[in-house]
Structure 1
Amino acid sequence: MTPLVMVHGFMGGGAQWDGEVAALSDSHEVIALDLPGFGRNADLEPINTIGGFADWVTEQLEKRGVRQFHLLGHSMGGMIVQDIARKVPDRIASLILYATGAKGVLPGRFETIAQSKARAQTDGARTTARRIAATWFLRGDAAPGYASCAAIAERATLPAIMAGLDAMEGWSGEAALAALRPKTLIIWGDCDRTYAWAQTEQLWKTIPNTRLAVVPACAHAVHLEKPDLFAALLQDHLSHV
């Protein structure tokens, strides 16, 4: 059985995928990684480039003996998996780009990367984690999934937060989109405050072999706002690859 590798985004962690791990466990092995500086790997030295994160993920899979895999990336993780798919295309069974885009500067984001950096330096790591995590939900910090998501985000130190923002700001995957060959599912919540429709549309229209799922009344955390629908989208995609 070809495993599904899930790569979280900025200030995320492997624990955020617990629902998907449970939902898919009967049909697929799920590998939910924690990137250096985040989640359960908050003690590891942060990485400040998307390419560096991509190499780290590939190395972890090599150590586990995982040669062929489906690959999902959320938000910043979507940037990372685009780089992985570009670097080792023969190892990717399929690609899932979730709430992400091809421009690291994030045009249309709720605030610019520069603003996030300045506010993080002023407010500190914990306040930044809780504030930004609230933007991922349609109902903000009143959303049912907010508390667990914010708790994961709070594990990130200020150096990890700054490194992640540097990584996104310094990256663009636009030139490589047309060369991505895996069958690709794109998932986007229509109220996402981080990635505007133009980023999603660019992925959909430029990557050669794509399907698009737009989920209504969801922001940046579809997997927590509509978990059953999200799991069904993954099952459907994986069963038709």
Structure 2
Amino acid sequence: MFYRRQGKGPAVMLLHGFASSSLFWSGLMDALEPDFDLIAPDWPGFGAAGSRQPYRRLPDFASGLLALADELGLQRVHVVGHSMSGFVVQELLCHHPERLGRVVLYGAGLSVNRGRRFETVEQTLQRLQAEGVETAARKVVDSWFADAARSPAAHALCLQAAAGMSEQGAAAAIEATQNADYTGKLQGCATPALVLSGEAERSHPPASALELYRALGNAHLCILPLCGHAAHLEQPLWFESVLREFLAG
């Protein structure tokens, strides 16, 4: 699996979401590298791994991540999962908690709530098929910001991160996550967790973040103001402060 790595300290896996790649984390990695060993993979079908055969089931994502941890000699890691990768974190919480230190579910929910999302999963898939990957990715990225005009560099970075996504990778990711639902499966989780969201989140709005927080056995909840699905880019200082304090325990 392709990955970017920088910093020294406790190992933290940074997992990107749909229409994204490890580039999504570049600024955050620069900010946190004095304190943490940061590892940001590209899922197969995305980013620098865009030509690789994609995963089609959430257990495959979890297994792929654990295989990477094994390759790097990491028995136990902190994990930050954004958006789609929030489901990967929940899969790990349910089936591999012994491999986890602390986890952050960022812009995530228990399921894809079709009534709350900025558009239906079917609409995203139809756009992907009718208009192509680039147009579909731009539509998704445009929904991530409380005010994209206020953050042009961050918006451009997100489009750059999305550029490697293949049509096959995008379709497989939708297939893997569209029916995901971890309702009732997380109560026994003792792993320390942080549910982190922006108040203008449109993929998994704050109501979904609250449900996820309540479903976890050992969790904290943080809703950051003046930002959306790319909170670490719109409000980097707040995001970095909260994340650093939580991961440091």
Please confirm whether the aligned pair reaches a TM-score higher than 0.5, indicating the same fold: yes
What corresponds to 1:36 in structure 2?
44
Q: Is 1:160 matched up with 2:162? A: no
1:219 counterpart residue number:
228
2-side partners of 1:112 and 1:102: how far apart? 16
TM-score, length basis structure 1: 0.95
Whether 1:189 and 2:189 are equivalent positions in the alignment is: no
Q: Give the whole-Å Cα distance in 2 for the aligned partners of 1:171 and 1:211.
A: 22
Q: Which residue is equivalent to 2:209? A: 200
1:118-165 deviation line (CA, Å, top 9, x unaligned)? 111111111111121111112236632111111111211111111111
Letter in 2 for 1:202: E
**TM-score normalized with structure 2 length:** 0.92
- Provide the C-alpha distance between the structure 1 equivalents of 2:143 and 2:135, rounded to a whole number of angstroms: 13
Note if 1:73 corresponds to 2:85: no
Gaps of 5+ in 2: 1-8
- Secondary structure, in 3 states, of the residue corresponding to 1:148? helix
Aligned residues: 240
Q: How far apart are residue 196 of structure 1 and its match?
A: 2.0
Q: What letter matches 2:197 in structure 1?
A: W
Q: How far apart are the structure 2 equivalents of 1:71 and 1:47?
A: 19
Query: Aligned match of 1:123 in 102, 127, 131?
Result: 131
Q: Distance in 2 between matches of 1:106 and 1:236?
A: 33
CA RMSD of aligned residues (A): 1.4
Q: Give the deviation of 1:106 after TM superposition.
A: 4.6
1:55 positional shift: 1.2
Residue 60 (structure 1) aligns with: 68
Q: Distance in 1 between matches of 2:224 and 2:88?
A: 23
Aligned to 2:6: none
Q: Percent identical across equivalent pairs?
A: 29
Q: How do 1:84-95 residues align onto structure 2 when only pairs under 5 Å count?
A: 84-95=92-103
